Amino acid sequence: MLPEPPSQMPLSDLAATEVLAMVTQLKQERDDWQQMALRYKEDFDIQTRQLREFQDICFATQAELENERLLRRSQSTKPDGSQECDSSYATSCRSVHPSVSTIKDSEVSVFPAPTISSDLKIIEHLFGKQQHSIVLNELDHLLRGSLSAEARVEGLLLKSALLRLAGSEWLYDALAQCSEALELCDRLSDLEAYLPKIQYQRGLCYHRLSMVSQAKAAFKAAKDSDLYSDTAFEYVQACEEVDHDTKRRSAFDERRNYSQDYLLHWKDMEAKRTKRRPTTQIIKLLPTSKTSRLSLPHRWKMTKSV
């Protein structure tokens, strides 16, 4: 007898095996791509973190260079033989006393909330002892290094407050620190809680610079905070009163200048009219002063011609 042929696999089982193999291969490729995507995501997060750290360092370096530029400019513009103090932060802050103005610096809270960085806690302690020169030196050293975003904003605000207390020549530098803090808050949504404090600090600087409209806008942005609502509201009212008085004074000056200009113009016209009157009278009299010639009768002309 001949042997029986081997039983062949059904077509349905063969197709199922092929589909299963393809699905297994696709799952393996999916797992490989997922692992690759995770690695890329981790690398991207690391690069983003490093980029933010580098940006913070660049901002701090830029602010420090601006401070050095202003410092050298103030040194170059000093008159010879003057008895001024040294222009460095240390000596300028040793001789600082709050200037007498409408702003009460004693009401300004530099640290309205507990600080996050332990280094800033030490600086807060030094600031309470009125050691401003040491505080500024420590702040410059810290801001040049790597700090968290919250600690950097707090350091910039503290430096802005110290520069504001140092005198009117440092007010624009104090505003620069606030602007840098605002840039950080714009880039990082987690820092929105610092916006009222930054706006309040900007309002104080603008108020010292007698920039009423900018100060009013900054205080309006800060008055919604529970921490600054009362004081900021008082500053807004004061700015509105100053703005109202300025507008009234400018309107009065404008009306007064218009009246004076009209009076001068009227006097000038009267003077010109007085000078012009004799000439006009002479011109009117000239035709009557001439001798009038009478024409000869026609018959006299005819007789003479004959």
The DSSP H or E segment spanning 266 is helix 229-289
pLDDT at 8: 58
Measure Cα distances from 104 to 208, 213, 219, 252 in Å.
Answer: 11, 19, 15, 32
Q: Is the pLDDT of residue 167 over 50?
A: yes
The answer to whether 90 and 139 have CB atoms below 8 angstroms apart is no
Which tokens belong to 207?
């108020």
The second-level CATH assignment, the architecture, of 57-70+88-238 is Alpha Horseshoe (1.25)
pLDDT at 97: 31
SS3 assignment, position 283:
helix
**Minimum mean pLDDT among 192-196, 200-204, 270-274: which range?**
270-274
pLDDT at 187: 87
Of all residues in the chain, what percent are helix, strand and coil, respectively (each to 5)? 75, 0, 25
Q: Residue ranges of the domains in the chain?
A: 57-70+88-238
Percent of the chain exceeding pLDDT 90 equals: 8
pLDDT at 118: 61
**Number of DSSP helices (H) and strands (E) in the chain, helices first:** 10, 0
DSSP 128-194: HTT-HHHHHHHHHHHHHS---HHHHHHHHHHHHHHHHHH-GGGHHHHHHHHHHHHHHHHH-GGGGGG
The structure tokens 């929105």 sit at 192
> What is the distance between the alpha carbons of residues 226 and 10, in angstroms, rounded to a whole number?
80
Please list, in sequence order, all residues whose beta carbon lies within 8 angstroms of the beta carbon of residue 139, skipping any fewer than 6 positions away.
123, 155, 158, 159, 162
**Minimum mean pLDDT among 58-67, 73-82, 157-166, 177-186: which range?**
73-82
Q: pLDDT tens for residues 249-283? A: 555 455 555 555 556 666 666 666 665 555 445 44
Query: Rounded mean pLDDT of 159-187?
Result: 87
**Minimum mean pLDDT among 42-51, 149-158, 161-170, 226-235: which range?**
226-235
Higher-confidence residue of 232 and 191: namely: 191
Higher-confidence residue of 123 and 51: namely: 51
Q: Is the pLDDT of residue 110 over 50?
A: no
The answer to whether 66 and 173 have CB atoms below 8 angstroms apart is yes
Q: pLDDT tens for residues 235-251? A: 887 887 876 666 665 55
Higher-confidence residue of 221 and 92: namely: 221
Q: Does pTM top 0.85 for this prediction?
A: no
